[in-house]
Each structure stands twice: as C-alpha cells, then as structure tokens.
C-alpha cells in the first residue's frame, strides 16, 4: 500500500474522530454558555403574607404531570438521587389527603448534565408528556431552558439552581435554593468570624472546574471579598470535567504556599484533587469547598481519610429533626437510596415539591400551565423539611447558607446558618 | 530547579501512559491498517476488571491487575474475530472499518454506563498514594514523587524494550513486520496473515491494558473516556511518526510533556488544546512525524 495513501487515510480518520470527539465534548461540556448576571445580593424577601386566590371551580380528579430534567447518567449522575427526594414528597402529599383526588406524577428525564439534552428533555416533557410544570437543576441547563419554557408556556422550577439570574425577569420561572455567591460569603465569613483569621494578607489559592457558571460566579464574588478584606489570592488553577491528573496544578499551588486552598468542583474530580494535594505535601491550614462537597460520596470513596477536615458551604436549614414529616422523609429516602440519608439539596427539592403542591391546594388547575404559574406566584411561604421558605415577588425563595465539615467520612453540619456579606456588593 | 524536576516527573508519568497507548495503537495500525478506535476499550476493560476483581471479589491487587491485562489482551482476539475479520471478509474499506470500530466503541461505553454506572471505580481503598519525599537544603529541593509514577515510568520503559526486542529478534516479530511491509508477498511466502493479525491485536490490546491498570490504580476508571483515549493514542502515533514504533513512544511522551507544560504555564484547561497544537505543528512542519523520515518510511515500516 502506498505510503502517502496510508498517511492520508490515517489523517482523514483522525480528523473525523477528532470532530466526533469535539462534538461529544461540546455536548458533554458543563452547561454554562450563558451571559453572567450582575453580582448582586438577592432582593429582600417579601413579607410572608399569603394572598388567597379567588376560588375556581374544582376540576374532576386530575393529575399533575411534574416533569424533572435531571442527570441520571454521566459524570453528574449522583444528582439523580433528587428523584427519590421528590418522590418522597409526592408520597407524603398523597398520604396527607390535602390534594383530595388530585395526584402528582413525577416524570424524570435524563439531562446528562448537558444543555442540549436538558432543553430537549424539557421540550419532550412539555409537548409529549403534557407536563405543565418542570423541575430542573444546574445553572447552565436552567438558563438554557428558561426561554424555551416561556416559549412553550410551561412553568420551570428549580430547588438547586443557585445563579441569581435564573428566576429573574420571567414569570414562568420559580426557585427555592441557595444563592451561589453566598457560598463564597459563607467560607470567608467562617474564616473571619468563626476561625478568627486575620483576612488581610491571608494567602488563598483555588482550583476550579472550567466552564461552570455557578463556580465562576463564586470566583467573582471571592475576588470581590478578597479586595474588600485584603485576602491575597496566590494561585488560580483550573481543570476540565473528567480530568484524572492534577499533578501540575497542585504543583503550582504548592509553590504558592497558601494558607487556604479551595477546591471548586461539582463532580468527582474533588477526591482526586484532594489525593494529589496530600501526595504533594500540600497541607494548608484550611481546605475548603464551596457547593460541591456535601453529599459527594465520590469524594469520600476516592480520597478516604484524606477528605476529613474539609470545610464546605451548603444550603442551610433549620433544625427539623424533631419534625415527624422530616423523619418520614429520611426513612423514605434512605429506603430508596441504599441507606444514605438526605442532604440539604434533597431537602430543598422536597420542599420545592411542597411549594408546587401548595399551588394545587390553592386551586390551581393541574392540567393548565397558566393556572399553575399564576397560582405559584401567589404562594408566599412554605414550611418544609428544611425550614420555612419565603417566596418573593420574583418567584425566588432563598435558602440560608451553612458550613459543614467532613468528619470521619460523614458530612456534618457545623454551622447551620451563617450570614452572607449583604452589605458588600 | 525543584519545580523543573517536579514538572518533568509529572510529564514523564503522564507521557508514559500515553506512550503505552500509542505503542499499542501503532502495533495494530502498522500491520492491519485499521484506525482502531476500539483501542480505548481495551484500556477500559483492564481498568474495570482490575476494580471488579480487587474491590468486588477481594482478589490481591497484583493478581487482579495481571488478570485484567490478560483480559484486555483477550479482548483483542474478540475485536479481531468478531468485528475486523468479518469486515475484511466482506471487503470493507478503511472508512467502513473505522465507522465499525467507532460504533463498537460507543456500544461498549453504553454497556459500561449501564452496568458500572458513572461512579469512579477505584481498585483500592480511597486515599492518596505513597510518595517519596526528597528534601535537601543544600541542593535546594523539596520534592514529592509518587512511587506509582516511578513504577509506571519503569514498567513502560521495560515494555518498550521488550516490544522492540520482540519485533527485532523473534520469528513472530519478523512475521508481523513482513505482513506490515508487504502483505501480499508475505502471504505468498507462506505467512498466515490471519494469525498475524490476531497476534497484533492481542499485543496492542495488552499494551493498552497495562496502561489501563496503571491509570486506574491511581485515579480510578470512568466509562466515557474511550474517544479521548483513542485520540491520544492516534495523536501520539502521528506525532512520533506513522510506521515507527519508537516514534509512537516518543509521540506519546511528547503529548504528555505538551499537556503538562501547558497546564503549568497557562492553566489546566489548556492541556488538551496544547496536545492538539503540537499535533498540528507536527503535521504542518514535519508531516512524517518526529522520528519518521521519507527513507525510513519507504524502506522500513517497523523499527
């Protein structure tokens, strides 16, 4: 066979394969190709006054088809556990009889943590399954779904998207979640007020997953706080989702000799990074994580005891351990999740489901998206398993932020609620 | 100086895995002339087998790893008999073989996703690997070197020597070279091409399997990296020089070095683009590869 033909064929095949890989990588990229919102604290919550909806004729026994675009496969498949949380809420709602003969059917759709898949899933749920309300998670996906939800005239709800822009300026979008920038606030507040560190000159390093909007917002906020308090950011490293080697980035961090290292990852890379830090003798005074540690069983599995001591921020909650409903939620969830107990994200999605059910209790037509939208806009407060959620005029209910720590392989809340820096914009 | 040494070790460790992948790919491609995308599957089979045997079945890690490599090699038999031989018999051309390989890889990854899910599978207890701490104030060094990196570099070096000697001094090695050089003539003189093809797939897949075991032990294995592995392997072959075994090794090492250096100076997100940039530069300015020459290519396909 002629040499030139051999080489040209190999190059042609390589080009074709690289094209396939580029498409696959683009499709599998973290869903974040969105304009950044302004970095402002959330609006003040409206007073918790319920405005009764004028009674509407009660329809025949009906069913609310509640769609849910969530990763059930891929790098973020662990978030599929949220289906169990929502199903437990639905089971509780049905058992209470508060909806009468109306029922809720949960319809999960695999988003693969991908924007295109998430939008496709939303379209399917809205047009094929006739779901008037669709739950979702992840900033990039939610922001991509937002205009599509409006176009299709369906309600988009999230109990996990932390980007402040998600529910803004769109009557079809609702949310109960933590504001992502508060992750940065919580960690800095912890260092300042709980650990009593002198922030001026504190050497701070981070390594972050590239192309993640939520993480980028945290970084922006961190830099603002660094400017305010004199924190010295000595290393800023990045990695791609599904990377397996972090030696070089950690080498640079080690050279910077930081007091604090923050690992910003929502996926399974965190455990490998923690291992690499230990292997290279990177042992700062504080190892932090914002938003991606709690419930990250991969972190524990991959890094073992090396994960102990990591401090992380997460949605806060009130102490509802004595609440029988919270206890039933824990039992229900554990039964479905192999003994694992629900974390604050699970509780948030449980409570988000309660908010949707609240709209049904107030007389919304479960088959009419406009009715669901308008009634949801009337919901002012919901007492959930993670505490009380107060919804503002924009459809947002903000969770408090907490600090947790990995202790003996468990995720332990050490500060249930910690104040963000609302006076710093 | 210390940083240079640390980065060099990082690059060598990463490049060694790439070199193994590229060498295995080159063994197959140089002989069979198939763009063997399924090469990544051998890597994954070894990784998952190591995890399953060591963690789920409780086997000692060396036994699990050895068995996993054997299984990876055996998968080469399956690939050749079940896929490529059938395509050859039907007269499939280069492109159809490539597409068939691609389809098989996607199917395999889908199967892995279903069976093993996406959790990182680690064949050992979680935690950092043991490291060697070299510290000397006099020399101004304070290095942390993973023993696993040392083992990987040494093992790959040994394998490269073994493969080189195999092709140069053994009967089967000469037969493979003959088929690679001129299949028609080789068959005419009595060399069984089918047996040779089977052997190269076993050999290439075994090499990929060793890479899979080493990487899995350190960082675990996930199912959806087959394409990335195939591109890495092919990239190393092209960079090093198509038809050159040493070239495949050099190409893999060069890829590892490029990614490590880019990651250090520009950030981790530049690692993959840097690898492609190196590939592009080689294709533009030295299309025969770093170790390939026009004479080399026309006179000697292997070694």
CA-closest candidate to residue A118, choices A88, A98, A141 = A141
Flag if A6 and B242 touch (Cβ within 8 Å). Answer: yes
Q: Across the interface, which of A7, A17, A281 has its CB nearest the CB of B144?
A: A281
Q: How far is A250 from A275, CA to CA, in rounded Å?
A: 10
User: Residues 191..250 of B with a Cβ closer than 8 Å to A: which?
Assistant: 215, 218-220, 222, 224-225, 227-228, 230-231, 234-235, 237-238, 242-243
Residue B90 domain flag: yes
Q: Model confidence at A27, in pLDDT bands (50, 70, 90)? A: very low
Q: From 3.30.365.10, 3.50.50.60, 3.40.50.2300, 3.20.20.80, which CATH number describes the A63-178+320-394 domain? A: 3.40.50.2300
> How wide is the angle at C-alpha A221 spanned by C-alphas A220 and A227, nearest 5°?
95
* B106 touches A: beta carbon within 8 Å: no
pLDDT, residue B300, reads 44
Q: Which helix (H) or strand (E) holds B135?
A: strand B131-136
Average pLDDT over residues A111-124: 94
Query: What whole-number distance in Å separates Cα of residue A387 and Cα of residue B14?
Result: 48
Residue A19: predicted pLDDT = 60
- Residue B77 belongs to what domain range? 2-224
SS (H, E, C) chain A: CCHHHHHHHHHHHHHHHHHHHHHHHHHHCCCCCCCCCCCCCCCCCCCCCCCCCCCCCCCCCCEEEEEEEECCCCCCHHHHHHHHHHHHHHHHHHHHCCCCCCEEEEEEEECCCCHHHHHHHHHHHHHCCCCCEEEECCHHHHHHHHHHHHHHCCEEEECCCCCCCCCCCCCCEEEEECCCHHHHHHHHHHHHHHCCCCCCCCEEEEEEECCCHHHHHHHHHHHHHHHHHCCEEEEEEEECCCCCCCHHHHHHHHHHCCCEEEEECCCCHHHHHHHHHHHCCCCCCEEEEECCCCCCHHHHHHHHHHHCCCEEEEECCCCCCCCHHHHHHHHHHHHHCCCCCCCHHHHHHHHHHHHHHHHHHCCCCCCCHHHHHHHHCCCCEEEECCEEEECCCCCEEECCEEEEEEECCEEEEEEEEECCCCCCC
Q: Is residue B206 part of a domain?
A: yes
The neighbour count for residue B279, using CB atoms within 10 Å, is 22
* ipTM score of complex: 0.87
Q: What percent of chain A has pLDDT over 90?
A: 62
Average predicted confidence (pLDDT) for chain A: 86
Quick one: pLDDT band at residue A33, thresholds 50, 70, 90?
very low
Cβ neighbours of A247 in B, within 8 Å: 10, 13-14, 260
User: Quick check: A10 and B238 CB within 8 A?
Assistant: yes
CB contact under 8 A, A10 and B234: yes
Confirm whether B215 is domain-assigned: yes
Residues of chain B positioned with their CB less than 8 A from the CB of A274: 128
- Asked if A243 and B235 come within 8 Å (Cβ–Cβ), the reply is no
Say yes or no to pLDDT of B165 above 90. Answer: yes
- Please report, rounded to a whole number, the percentage of residues in chain B having pLDDT higher than 70: 96
Most confident of A76-85, A198-207, A410-419: A198-207
Query: Taking a C-beta distance cutoff of 8 angstroms, is the pair A71, A82 a contact?
Result: no
Predicted structure pTM score: 0.81
pLDDT attached to residue B115:
83
Which residues share a beta bridge with A405? A311, A412
Q: Is the minimum CB–CB distance between B273 and chain A shorter than 8 Å?
A: no
Query: Looking at the partner chain, which of A237, A249, A302 has a beta carbon nearest the beta carbon of B122?
Result: A302
Looking at residue B303, its pLDDT comes to 37
Structural domains in chain B (count): 1
The confidence score (pLDDT) of residue B120 equals 82
Tell me which residue of A214, A50, A82 sits closest to A157, measured CA to CA.
Answer: A82
Q: How far apart are CA A342 and CA A82, in angstroms?
A: 9
- CATH 3.40.50.2300 region(s) of chain A? 63-178+320-394, 181-315+403-418
Is pLDDT at A24 greater than 60 in this prediction?
Answer: no
C-alpha distances out from residue A400 to A138, A164, A182, A318, Å? 19, 14, 9, 9
Give the homologous superfamily in CATH for domain A181-315+403-418. Answer: Response regulator (3.40.50.2300)
B55: DSSP letter: I
Q: Please give, rounded to a whole number of angstroms, the shortest distance from the CA of B71 to a CA of chain A.
A: 23
Cα of B117 to nearest chain A Cα, Å: 7
* DSSP label at residue B221: B
Please answer yes or no on whether A14 and B95 come within 8 Å at the CB atom: no
């Amino acid at each position: 066979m002629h040499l030139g033909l051999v080489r040209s064929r190999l190059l042609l095949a390589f080009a074709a394969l690289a094209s396939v890989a580029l498409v696959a990588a683009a499709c599998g990229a973290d869903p974040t190709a969105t304009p950044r919102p302004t970095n402002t604290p959330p609006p003040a919550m409206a007073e918790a006054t319920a405005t009764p909806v004028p009674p509407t004729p009660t329809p025949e026994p009906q069913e609310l088809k509640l769609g849910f675009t969530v990763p059930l496969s891929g790098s973020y498949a662990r978030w599929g556990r949220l289906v169990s949380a929502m199903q437990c809420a639905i089971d509780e709602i049905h058992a209470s009889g508060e909806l009468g003969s109306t029922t809720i059917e949960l319809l999960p759709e695999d988003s693969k943590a991908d924007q295109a898949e998430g939008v496709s899933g939303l379209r399917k749920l809205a047009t094929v399954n006739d779901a008037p309300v669709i739950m979702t998670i992840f900033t990039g996906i939610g922001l991509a779904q937002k205009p599509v939800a409006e176009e299709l005239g369906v309600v988009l709800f999230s109990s996990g998207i932390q980007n402040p822009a998600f529910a803004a300026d769109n009557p079809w979008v609702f949310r109960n979640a933590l504001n992502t920038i508060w992750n940065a606030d919580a960690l800095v507040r912890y260092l300042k007020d709980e650990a009593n560190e002198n922030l001026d000159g504190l050497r701070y390093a981070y390594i972050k997953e590239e192309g993640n909007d939520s993480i980028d917002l945290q970084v922006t906020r961190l830099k603002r706080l660094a400017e305010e308090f004199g924190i010295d950011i000595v290393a800023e490293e990045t990695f791609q989702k599904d990377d397996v080697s972090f030696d070089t980035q950690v080498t640079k961090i080690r050279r910077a000799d930081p007091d604090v290292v923050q690992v910003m990852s929502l996926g399974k890379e965190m455990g490998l990074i923690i291992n690499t830090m230990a292997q290279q003798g990177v042992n700062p005074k504080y190892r932090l994580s914002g938003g991606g540690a709690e419930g990250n069983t991969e972190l524990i599995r991959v890094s073992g005891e090396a994960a102990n001591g990591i401090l992380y921020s997460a949605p806060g909650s009130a102490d509802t351990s004595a609440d029988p409903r919270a206890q039933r939620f824990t039992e229900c969830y554990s039964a479905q999740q192999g003994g694992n107990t629900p974390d604050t994200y699970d509780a948030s999605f449980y409570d988000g489901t309660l908010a949707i059910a609240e709209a049904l209790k107030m007389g919304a037509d479960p088959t009419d998206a406009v009715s669901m939208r308008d009634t949801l806009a009337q919901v002012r407060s919901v007492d959930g398993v993670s505490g009380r959620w107060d919804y503002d005029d924009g459809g947002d209910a903000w969770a408090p932020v907490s600090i947790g720590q990995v202790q003996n392989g468990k995720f332990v809340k050490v500060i249930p609620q910690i104040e963000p820096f609302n006076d710093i914009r | 100086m210390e940083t240079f040494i640390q980065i060099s070790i990082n690059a060598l460790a990463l490049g060694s895995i790439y070199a193994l992948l590229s060498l295995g790919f080159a063994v197959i491609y140089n002989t069979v002339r198939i763009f063997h995308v399924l090469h990544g599957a051998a890597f994954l089979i070894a990784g998952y087998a190591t995890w399953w045997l060591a963690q789920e079945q409780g086997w000692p890690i060396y036994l699990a790893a050895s068995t996993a490599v054997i299984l990876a090699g055996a998968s080469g038999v399956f690939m050749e008999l079940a896929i490529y031989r059938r395509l050859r018999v039907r007269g499939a051309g280069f492109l159809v073989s490539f597409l068939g390989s691609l389809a098989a890889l996607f199917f395999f990854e889908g199967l892995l996703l279903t069976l093993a899910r996406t959790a990182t599978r680690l064949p050992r207890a979680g935690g950092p690997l043991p490291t060697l701490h070299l510290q000397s104030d006099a020399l101004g060094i304070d290095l942390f070197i993973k023993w696993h990196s040392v083992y990987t570099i040494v093992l790959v070096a040994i394998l490269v020597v073994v493969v080189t000697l195999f092709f140069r001094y053994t009967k089967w090695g000469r037969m493979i070279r003959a088929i690679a050089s001129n299949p028609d003539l080789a068959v005419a003189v009595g060399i069984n091409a089918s047996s040779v093809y089977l052997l190269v797939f076993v050999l290439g897949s075994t090499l990929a399997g060793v890479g899979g075991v080493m990487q899995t032990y350190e960082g675990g294995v996930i199912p959806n990296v087959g394409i990335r592995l195939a591109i890495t392997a092919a990239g190393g072959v092209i960079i090093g020089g198509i038809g050159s075994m040493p070239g495949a090794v050099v190409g893999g090492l060069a890829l590892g070095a490029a990614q490590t250096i880019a990651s250090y100076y520009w950030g981790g997100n530049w690692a993959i683009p840097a690898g492609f940039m190196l590939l592009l530069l080689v294709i533009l300015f030295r299309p025969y590869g770093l170790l390939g020459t026009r004479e080399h290519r026309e006179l000697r396909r292997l070694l």
